Chain A
Amino acid sequence: MENILSIKDLVVSFASDGRKDRAVAVNGLSLDIPRGGTVGLVGESGCGKSVTSLSVMGLLAENGRVDAGEARFAGQDLLKLPDRELRKLRGNRISMIFQEPMTSLNPVLTVGRQLTEAIRQHSDMDKAAAKARAIELLEHVGIPEAATRFGNYPHQLSGGMRQRVMIGMAMAMTPDLLIADEPTTALDVSIEAQILRLMKDLQRRHGTSILMITHNLGVVAELCDEVYVMYAGEVVERADVFTLFRDCAHPYTRGLMASLPRMTPKGQRLYNIRGTVPNLRAMPAGCRFAPRCELASERCHAEKPGLIDLGGGHLCRCFLRGEAANHE
């Protein structure tokens, strides 16, 4: 299938005050998003998943820098595009939703103003047409009394409503790709389901591809076709969603699955992966997950595993490959 976005060997690093060495947040990541598909990017906070999306959008913080790699979108390498050209794509053919609906909207501008400015930036609609379009968008994302809400300020809306506005804004120009960075993390579970349903619905209607960044495997199961699991700046496993849930291969992914709270006898402790994510400036020499892995051998600590194809596009960065699955 044709890919709408194809990231290859992306390396992103950050400078911090008073230090010469840069912290490498993303280390050689490759990822493909098929047209019309939904790809999940999963991992703990700090594993580099948001950094990946921000570098594709050209929105890295000042101290961040793309050191290597390419991101092909419609024949262009987004990472080499001058800002002026990238701006034409942002909010138009690629758009983004962020984690915090409470802080992602400007508090001193009305919802309508923030919607219409996105529309008018990428079209030659006049004020009235843009307003009509914005109200239509608000209705599409399920905001009641859209015409009234148009004149509201963000603080007059609930968190779920604000995220709907964000989605409306992102869908304003019916983009080819929607990057959703933990769009439901800050919301109640019932609202989360509504927002996910809305995204699915919009995708079906417009054929938009989605990159879903999340640490929530439930969201992945709900929405994604394919999943990339990231750990410490690298992809450790890639599989279609059924394979991943049926038969994941990497010990880290297995740990994530086991960490999901489920109905267990009272008093039994929830599973957690021991240890913490390694420091970006002090990565283990071998497998990055080895210090926390229950199955790590001497080889894992000394040598770095590559991504191994387990068949059918199921990739796994582990010496034990499928064997890990059979251990327990």
Chain B
Amino acid sequence: MAKHIVKRILITIPVLLGIVLLIFFMLNVVPGDPVTVMMKEHLKEDVVENLRKSMHLDDPFFLRYLRYVLDMLRGDLGMSWKLNRPVTKVIAQAFPYTCRLAVAAALFSWIMGIPVGVLSAVKKNSLIDHLSMGVSLFGVSMPVFWVALILQNTFKNVLPVSGVSGWRSYILPTVVLGWSSAGRIARLTRSNLLEVLRNDYIRTARSKGLPPFTVITRHALKNALIPVITVMAIQISSLLSGAVITESVFAIPGVGSLAVSAINNRDMPLLQGTVIFTAVLIIAGNLVADVLYSIIDPRIRVE
């Protein structure tokens, strides 16, 4: 088990280096010179030239990549050009907002999604089933920004709709962000549970005289949730890396908003930092999913 986990962690190292290379390369080929953006084209040529030199913008690509990776390994993601502060500090400041929102949205989606999925599967083809699957489908298919605007407009007199001022500010973003996840989890739970309920071992469990509730929770749900948990682990890591649209619409100063402003300002170090931060979280999420998977499913554990 421990060996398995260590192996999975070691595999992430080349993946991470590859991701950094890719990001670095892409941000180098996009048009728009940061210096001109920063200086609004008013500056004299020699000043621009000096600035470029001090920012190492004219060094060869691989030299800059190498320098960046070495700095990264020391926990230094460079300075934000726009804010003139270390990128790690900027992200660390934004992360708590994103984290609160992500955890709330994830909990919302699990607490809503799993019971609704179970109920739909157990009461298959009933009114409850059709209703909850309709609401789930709506949540999955409606664009986030649209749902956000509708909710803002509906609840503008009851709840804060912009910025962060106390926990109530998180209610609407949580619903917006959690709804689509909840819908996805509900539908996945339902279809997996229906699949599992057809298995021979469910019939065996019933033949032992176990009550239906025990059959569902002990025998069916544990099997049905294996794929759902994978989705949940990946979902929370992507939520943690910042919900770009939701954070922007509700003006929450999280990692998502940070990425948007970095793009607008051609703030390369900050943008690289947020993207790498996202990548690390996604990799970690996959790792956690993998480990959880092997804890729940004994068949994977032995191999």
B211 in the interface (beta carbon within 8 A):
yes
CA distance A166 to B302 in the complex (A): 23
| CB atoms of A107 and B298 under 8 A apart | yes
Chain B's nearest CB lies how many Å from the CB of A126? 18
A109 in the interface (beta carbon within 8 A):
yes
CA distance A118 to B205 in the complex (A): 8
Q: Which residue of B lies closest to A105 (CB)?
A: B201
CA distance A109 to B145 in the complex (A): 44
| CB atoms of A59 and B299 under 8 A apart | no
| CB atoms of B207 and A59 under 8 A apart | yes
Residues of B within 8 A of A214 (CB): none
| CB atoms of B207 and A87 under 8 A apart | no
| CB atoms of A103 and B207 under 8 A apart | no
Give A193-217 interface residues, CB cut-off 8 Å to B: none
Which of A59, A89, A95, A155 is within 8 Å of B203, CB to CB? A59
Chain A to chain B: the 10 pairs with minimum beta-carbon distance, closest first? A91-B208, A91-B209, A90-B209, A103-B200, A153-B298, A106-B201, A118-B208, A87-B209, A96-B207, A104-B200
| CB atoms of A57 and B223 under 8 A apart | no
A27 in the interface (beta carbon within 8 A):
no
B27 in the interface (beta carbon within 8 A):
no
| CB atoms of B298 and A90 under 8 A apart | no
Which of A98, A100, A118, A156 is within 8 Å of B302, CB to CB? A156
Residues of B within 8 A of A108 (CB): 222-223, 226, 296-298
Q: Which residue of A lies closest to B204 (CB)?
A: A104
Cross-chain pairs A/B with CB under 8 angstroms, 28 sampled = A57-B207, A59-B207, A87-B209, A87-B210, A89-B209, A90-B209, A91-B208, A95-B207, A95-B208, A98-B203, A98-B204, A100-B200, A104-B201, A105-B204, A106-B219, A108-B223, A108-B296, A108-B297, A108-B298, A110-B298, A117-B208, A118-B209, A118-B210, A121-B209, A121-B210, A122-B209, A155-B298, A166-B204
| CB atoms of A92 and B209 under 8 A apart | yes
0/1 interface trace, chain B 219-243, chain A, CB 8 Å (1 if under): 1001100100000000000000000
Residues of B within 8 A of A105 (CB): 201, 204
- Knowing A103-B200, A104-B201, the reply to whether A117 touches B210 (Cβ < 8 A) is yes
Residues of A within 8 A of B205 (CB): 106
- The interface residues of chain B, by DSSP majority, are classed as helix
The total of interchain contacts (Cβ-Cβ below 8 angstroms) comes to 75
| CB atoms of B211 and A91 under 8 A apart | no
| CB atoms of B209 and A106 under 8 A apart | no
- Knowing A103-B200, A155-B299, the reply to whether A169 touches B208 (Cβ < 8 A) is yes
Which of A98, A155, A169 is within 8 Å of B200, CB to CB? A98
| CB atoms of A90 and B201 under 8 A apart | no
Chain A's nearest CB lies how many Å from the CB of B188? 18
Which of B207, B208, B209, B299 is within 8 Å of A153, CB to CB? B299
B206 in the interface (beta carbon within 8 A):
yes
B199 in the interface (beta carbon within 8 A):
yes
A299 in the interface (beta carbon within 8 A):
no
Which of B209, B211, B299, B302 is within 8 Å of A107, CB to CB? B299
Chain B's nearest CB lies how many Å from the CB of A206? 18
Residues of A within 8 A of B298 (CB): 107-108, 110, 153, 155
Q: Which residue of A lies closest to B208 (CB)?
A: A91
A88 in the interface (beta carbon within 8 A):
yes
B4 in the interface (beta carbon within 8 A):
no
